[in-house]
Structure 1
């Protein structure tokens, strides 16, 4: 991946990274200006002064030589559980992308060290929780500890500034949520096909004034195909609202993606080197990113609850006309009733994630930091919400697969690829068995 400008760098994209020489030359020129400005001896927060409540303390020349390294060492107070490797990599890439704007004024040598670190395939142990500050200095201290041995002026505080970790992780999870939204459409369409639902609620004309909803309704109709002989005039609500529910997921996801781009494009370093001077900023606050992570978490929780309700209806012969609980032989066999119970428990766990992250601020640093947005925690909650929403989707998908097999109904053309992928990993269900194994294979191979 050749990077010619910061926006080329996508935390969700794998592969080695190379920074184009013209961009490196531009950053080297900024670094020279930064060093010249620092030589004046004017106070610059975190460079020749202490941090937080100690910012009034001026550092001697000898103290400044070790200060940038100490900033990382003294703030690495986190512990397990650690981020998964892909999220840890996203943190590193998020930091690199902010450095490429030039606001931090770090050296080309540090940037090249960071690129080599990313390309090595090794990732640091970064605590998944416990940020608890204005910004994310604790996880970033762990992330960049391997680079702490030989830091120049301002480079330690630059590694700790802003919310690059939450932003990089949010970009990664947004890509995952986009894939999940597509599967939710397919699974919802499969459930609609199973019960022979009236297609009226999915007519695009019912989405007047809402282009996102109109697109989702069109997608559902294309996936499920026509139903010339509906089983009833009205399907249960959980089927009729499939379009608005998934459209809301897509809408909130688009808003999160925009917030990620704002976070990457905006000024997050503090102090930032802007137009020839050091400027203190509030780019570490991250309320925009935190709020949109929370919004998507809530949208996924609602989608999971609707999916769980549909799954329950799929077990009901009055709704489907199929054997009770989708058992091959109801009575001697329990069918998929326990699969629904797992979905209920998973939806309940997801619901508990929907408390807004930015509620509950507390003072730290002797009152210097008296507000937090907890964006690091918000993106962690979103990661868990995506995981749980996938579990619920797997439960409904297994029921759709079994219902279509029992009904002998033809699979709609728009769903054939999905149902073939399911059939490749889920053997025919003719008796009770440990369905958790089937769900795991769906999560590993299909969702």
Structure 2
């Protein structure tokens, strides 16, 4: 894939990647201007000075020659567990994307080294935990140490290897540029946007199936109810179209969990839209510090990832609420008073447990989501002798989002299995709009006529349907 401008590079960009001659010329031109500006000898943070509390210390020429590599060497204090392969690759992609704007003033050669890393089939071993600073200095030191022979790398199977010796040398400002901003959190969150969009689609479909199988009143989904909120109106209309518009006789009010699906899914959509916008700001905005803008070195606060961290927190809270509502519907679907079906959706209630334990798993998963919903951005602690006196923990917020997405998928899979079994025991037809979804479930889940380890069926749904 030929990259001609920064915007061409996305988290889904597949290799082999190549930077266009036009882009390389732009990077080289910016680099020349930066080196000319440095030659004036004015203090530039992290280039001819120390870092953090040591920023008042000027470096002599000999110190400057090794300083950029040492910035990576002295900050790689993390360890296992490591980021999964796809997440680590997304971190490198996000770093490269920010470099291609020219704000960092790094060389074309450094950008080509990042491309070579992305094309190699190996990724840096980046610690999953322990960022603990204003920004991401610790994980980024691990992410880019291998460029200069420091640290370890992983293959796609998770095997760990020492970084190979490298003849590449970081030039002035390139070490600090590799450690700047929040490309780690940005890349990790960037990777979750598409799975979240798929998950939201399934949430609406599964909720529509639950409405249909119990014959819940469609009044809450009437088009008039969405007045003043286009996103809600669209989600309500989609659920109604999937479930069908026919009300059951006497179905005046279903339990709340059946009535609020539109609000719940549209709220998740709203938070994900805002999260995606925050990612765009993270890859397109000025995050380098010092940034080289219009010939000037400017110290920035691009490392303060509150925008991204807060929107991660919002999505996690929205997913947690959605899981609570889904788990409540599962419980109602096991109740003959709501469905008119055999208790616990067992073929033979009593001797058979039915799907009661599927609900128990959803309860446990939802409880795990609740524990993640404490905002990551709360709890600043000082580091670097008070130079870094606040932080946002955006790295941890990104990790919470990744885990929350996985757990929310598990709850949706549980509800889908329960809805599928309810249709199997019901005289109701599966609505046409949900036919493909339930055909996909039938393809991987045999009929549930007696008790069996349903964890296997849930995993099949997760692997092939959700």
Under TM normalisation by the shorter chain, which class is it?
Answer: over 0.9
Provide the aligned C-alpha RMSD in A.
1.0
Q: Which of 173, 177, 191 is the matching residue for 1:154?
A: 173
What TM-score do you get using the length of structure 2 for normalisation?
A: 0.94
Distance 2:405 2:38 in 1: 45
Distance 2:121 2:135 in 1: 26
Deviation at 1:37, TM superposition (A): 1.2
Deviation at 1:224, TM superposition (A): 1.2
SS of aligned partner of 1:278: strand
Distance 1:431 1:315 in 2: 16
- For 2:99, the equivalent position in structure 1 comes to 99
Distance 1:103 1:186 in 2: 44
- 1:251 equivalenced with 2:270 (yes/no): yes
Q: Which of 401, 407, 416 is the matching residue for 1:388?
A: 407
Deviation at 1:231, TM superposition (A): 5.6
- 1:322 equivalenced with 2:374 (yes/no): no
8 Å contact 1:197–1:230 — kept in the other structure?
Answer: no
8 Å contact 1:198–1:230 — kept in the other structure?
Answer: no
Deviation at 1:82, TM superposition (A): 1.0
Distance 1:348 1:230 in 2: 36
- 1:303 equivalenced with 2:322 (yes/no): yes
Distance 2:213 2:380 in 1: 48
Deviation at 1:408, TM superposition (A): 3.5
- 1:229 equivalenced with 2:252 (yes/no): no
Unaligned runs of 5+ in 2: 150-168
- For 1:39-78, list aligned pairs within 5 A: 39-78=39-78
Distance 1:358 1:12 in 2: 28
Deviation at 1:2, TM superposition (A): 2.5
- For 1:428, the equivalent position in structure 2 comes to 447
- For 2:124, the equivalent position in structure 1 comes to 124
- For 1:109-258, list aligned pairs within 5 A: 109-149=109-149, 150-230=169-249, 232-258=251-277
- For 1:352, the equivalent position in structure 2 comes to 371
Deviation at 1:4, TM superposition (A): 2.0
Distance 2:250 2:393 in 1: 49
Runs (4+) off by over 6 Å: none
8 Å contact 2:377–2:393 — kept in the other structure?
Answer: yes
8 Å contact 1:12–1:171 — kept in the other structure?
Answer: no
Deviation at 1:424, TM superposition (A): 0.7
- For 1:284-303, list aligned pairs within 5 A: 284-303=303-322
8 Å contact 2:180–2:303 — kept in the other structure?
Answer: yes
- 1:410 equivalenced with 2:429 (yes/no): yes
8 Å contact 1:333–1:432 — kept in the other structure?
Answer: yes
- For 2:354, the equivalent position in structure 1 comes to 335
What TM-score do you get using the length of structure 1 for normalisation?
A: 0.98
Range moving further from structure 2, 12-21 or 256-265: 12-21
Deviation at 1:230, TM superposition (A): 4.4
Residues 48-104 of structure 1, C-alpha deviations (whole Å, 9 max, x = no match): 111000011111111111111110011111111111111001000000000000000
Unaligned runs of 5+ in 1: none
Residues 138-191 of structure 1, C-alpha deviations (whole Å, 9 max, x = no match): 111111111135211111000000001111111111111111101101111111
- 1:270 equivalenced with 2:289 (yes/no): yes
Distance 2:408 2:258 in 1: 17
- For 2:157, the equivalent position in structure 1 comes to none
Residues 4-29 of structure 1, C-alpha deviations (whole Å, 9 max, x = no match): 22122111343432222211111110
SS of aligned partner of 2:297: strand
8 Å contact 2:83–2:128 — kept in the other structure?
Answer: yes
